[in-house]
Amino acid sequence: MRLMMIGDVFGRPGRRAIKDNVPALIRDENLDLVLANGENAAGGNGITREIAMEIFAAGVDVITMGNHVWNKKEIINFIDRESRIIRPYNYPPGTPGVGYGFFKTRNNETVGVINLSGRVFMPGLDCPFRCADQVVPVLREQTPVILMDFHAEATSEKAAMAHYMDGRVSAVCGTHTHVQTADERILPGGTAFITDVGMTGPYDSVIGVKKEPVLERFLTQLPQKFEPAAGLYQFNAVIIDVRRETGRAAAIRRIQNYE
């Protein structure tokens, strides 16, 4: 089984990258399921229903989220009705939406997906490690093939989660920092891991944002209005091969495409 996880989709350039790259990759790589982190898809902050539908129409099957999940308030009105959008599981009970789900591949096989948010340099949510302990057994009741989007800042927290989950999930894909790391590997227990999948968004930017106000903020320490950059895009993703019978990963490789 072949899965693709796309790094944080940022603004209009990121959505253009999805349209330009995903259909061809599905065809050429024989992808069974495509996931994308969409928490920055609407102008770099949050997601709207219209933009989610645009991403799904391009071939993405599941959208995961992160700490910007609630930045567009309208998501509260549709996230409970859109099962293909997964927000971090470790939000408090009663929060709209769900943190995990089961999804059918193009060959009608079942894949479990879980979204968790880190706590180091991030908003204080429930412990992601204990939350993983709660939900992974539920997912494994239906399928051994499980992909985790761990939306976290600290490299150490992401690596710790991967080792903690080794042998229990098929892949731990880090998101959030918008910089693709070159450490993709298969851990001893058969779990694929990369610290960060990267960003699918404007290439000539500071992690997606226009350079000028960011530089002004660093130089003067004065508040600035950050806006998404325009121009050419980068497309960052990983493709993971998983043994369907055991859920163990067989390979992981990075994708870096540029406009």
Give the angle 158-34-77 at the CA atoms, nearest 5°: 85
Percent share of the chain, pLDDT over 90: 98
Ordered alpha helix ranges (H), 118-168: 128-140, 155-165
- Pick from 33, 35, 47: nearest CA to 78: 47
Band (pLDDT 50/70/90 cuts) for residue 199 is: very high
Q: 128-140 vs 155-165: helix axis angle to the nearest 10? A: 30
Q: How do residues 12-46 score in pLDDT, each as one tens digit?
A: 999 999 999 999 999 999 999 999 999 999 999 99
Mean pLDDT rounded to a whole number for the chain: 97
Strand-pair partners of 151: 117, 175
Query: What's the N-to-C CA distance of the chain in angstroms?
Result: 28
Residue 109: how many other CB atoms lie within 10 Å: 14
Using the predicted structure, report yes or no on whether residue 131 has a pLDDT greater than 90: yes
CB 88 within 8 A of CB 69: yes
CA distance 239 to 241: 7
pTM over 0.75: yes
Mean pLDDT of 61-84: 95
For β-strands 233-242 and 192-194, DSSP reports them as unpaired
The reported pLDDT for the residue numbered 16 is 98
CA distance 19 to 235: 11
Mean pLDDT of 212-217: 95
| 12: enclosing H helix or E strand | helix 11-29
Using the predicted structure, report yes or no on whether residue 124 has a pLDDT greater than 90: no
CA distances from 64 to 79, 152, 204 (A): 11, 13, 25
The reported pLDDT for the residue numbered 213 is 95
Name the one residue in this structure whose structure tokens are 């982190």: 37
Which positions are annotated as active-site residues?
68
The reported pLDDT for the residue numbered 153 is 97
- Report DSSP letters for 214-240, one per residue: HHHHHHH-------B--S-EEEEEEEE
Mean pLDDT of 63-72: 96
CB 45 within 8 A of CB 78: no
Q: How do residues 94-107 score in pLDDT, each as one tens digit?
A: 999 999 999 999 99
